[in-house]
Amino acid sequence: MTPQMQSQQTRTLCQLAPVIPVIVIRDAARAADLARALVTGGLPVLEVTLRSDAALDAIRAMSGVPGGHVGAGTVLTPDDAKRAKDAGASFAVSPGLTDRLIDACADLELPLLPGVVTASEIMGAADAGFDMLKFFPAEAVGGAPALKSLAGPLPRISFCPTGGVTPQNAGSYLSLPNVVCVGGSWIVTDADVAAGNWQAIEDRARVAAALPRG
């Protein structure tokens, strides 16, 4: 699977909803219920970060929920990509981009949403064939104004900004022509997951799913 094909697939996923929940899950037994709440709330694309021991088991559980598209986040190495694919991930998200990761995801036929910050990184990703990118850490490197500035010289590149995106600033990103969706961690809280408060998560998902896009 070429980077061009990968970007086509990740772009299609990013177009499904204005927000991709970024999830750190610590109890895989709660993963399927969590996925159902998010999908029911209108957010079908879910990113489970590989930052906990439960992440791969959570991806396995969540990938069986009808209507959901579950990806692995914090994919750093070819081994991460393989373990994610074996667990049922339908896409991978990385904070950056390396040649080894490009080759691994191509071999695994695992669509990759790679992370970038600078114009040089964006141009490098574009040279490799990617035109749908993660902009991370968004707020720390200039937020929506930075992405707006990048749209001029790099008009064919689209982004999913992640990192510091909140309900208060999500609209400023989504109004930009080069932003397809945002990634956000505010929809899923540890407290609600621990309490099994799926309705609260579904309610936040429903609000996020209704955010307008430019």
In the residue annotation, 134 being an active-site residue is answered as yes
Three-class SS of the chain: CCHHHHHHHHHHHHCCCCEEEEECCCCHHHHHHHHHHHHHCCCCEEEEECCCCCHHHHHHHHCCCCCCEEEEECCCCHHHHHHHHHCCCCEEEECCCCHHHHHHHHHHCCCEEEEECCHHHHHHHHHHCCCEEEECCCHHHCHHHHHHHHHCCCCCCEEEEECCCCCCCHHHHHCCCCECCEEECCCCCHHHHHHCCHHHHHHHHHHHHCCCCC
Task: Kindly name the residue from 47, 109, 121, 148 that is annotated as catalytic.
Answer: 47
Note whether 34 and 192 are within 8 A (CB).
no
Whether 82 is a known active-site residue: answer: no
Count of CB atoms within 10 A of residue 191's CB? 8
Which of the residues 82, 134, 139, 202 is marked catalytic?
134
Give catalytic residues, as residue numbers.
47, 134
